[in-house]
Structure 1
């Protein structure tokens, strides 16, 4: 698992073996089972998770109890409720496992300590946050300016293999359409 994290970091910054050992010492490993909720709305968020293996979803439950999927997280993705994690407040989002998952996670305190100890990590986390910001911007622009068919095509392009790994009802929730509409899109 640590090799995958190192590859992710070294896509942005090179690390010596000693630096990586220090980086790794600030992370913890945890396995989660399918259907396990790792971040629950209303609870404090202590960790940012690097998904080594598995599949997760980030969702928002509205006042009527309807689930709106904000993000899917596949292998080599970072998952948390960013606002709650960085401000150390309660979550407005929920994160749960769609498959068994292997993760490496870091607390905000360990992340800040690590950035002081290995300056390169501050650059890495900045680049990683920027990439996530850009991804969410693309999603928002797609939602407001693209047809449902274009959104579906983008989903298939951005998340290769996802369609085979999750129920159609979750794909429909992500796109904000009914299952019937999704079936028509998938067969078009």
Structure 2
């Protein structure tokens, strides 16, 4: 749980007493490779903070083709946020690509901590804002860039994932074929 405190304190200062209270709202889960935290159609009760491992957040079309929205690694937060905030069923999947651990909490937790502790409201607002900005940048990149530009952006955003993820998965994220990725990789 100390990782949670360090993570929060990158944005907001909290006392020992406040942290002891905050920690009661989070639970630890160990996640195996290929295990799903969320699947399409699930009730989405939790948002997750990554302690270790790599996770992919994606949706699948009617033919089963995957579209990767994001990878999440240490200190990233993830969920099917539409379903989480609107208390609907999932339209996304979260799959563990490399085994790890996550902390998880509920929307009620987020709301309760935000209303009781100004620092946590500030923390969650900053995290949500940063996530929103990242998603807009990703959409802009997908809509208006070349495969080479997308590859360059990926290598800057996720430098340690180039060697840890299968090439097929990276190609899916970039929206290119595996052959195109091989050409980009060799440059």
TM range (shorter): over 0.9
Please give the alpha-carbon distance, in whole angstroms, between the structure 2 residues aligned to 1:63 and 1:55.
26
**What secondary structure does 1:114 align onto?**
helix
Structure 2 stretches lacking a partner, 5+ long: none
Deviation string 1:46-90 (CA, Å, 9 cap, x unpaired) is 000000010000011011110111100111110101110111101
Supply the distance in 2 between the matched residues of 1:139 and 1:111 (Cα, whole angstroms).
26
Q: How do 1:116-135 residues align onto structure 2 when only pairs under 5 Å count? A: 116-135=115-134
SS at match of 1:65: coil
Alignment of 1:73 with 2:72, yes or no, is: yes
**Structure 1: where are the runs of 5+ without partners?**
none
Tell me what 1:8 maps to. Answer: 7
Which residue of structure 1 lines up, in the alignment, with residue 148 of structure 2? 149
| In 1: Cα distance, 2:145 partner to 2:176 partner | 13
State the secondary structure of the residue aligned to 1:139. Answer: helix
**Superposed, which structure 2 residues align to 1:79-158 within 5 Å?**
79-158=78-157
Q: TM-score by structure 2 length?
A: 0.98
Q: 2:43: which partner in 1?
A: 44
Give the structure-1-normalised TM-score: 0.97
Write the distance in 2 (CA, Å) between the matches of 1:50 and 1:123: 17
Secondary structure of 1:13 counterpart = coil
Shift of 1:6: 1.2
Partner residue in 2 for 1:169 = 168
Please report how far the alpha carbon of residue 117 of structure 1 lies from its aligned counterpart in structure 2 after TM superposition. Answer: 2.2
Matched residues in 1 for 2:149 and 2:18: separation? 43
Aligned mates of 1:8, 1:29 — CA distance in 2: 15
**Partner residue of 2:22?**
23
Runs of 4 or more above 2 Å deviation: none
**RMSD over equivalenced CA pairs, Å:** 0.8
Counterpart of 1:164 in 2: which secondary structure?
Answer: coil
- Distance of 1:135 and 1:113 partners within structure 2: 26
Deviations 1:117-145 (A, max 9, x none): 22211111010000000100111111112
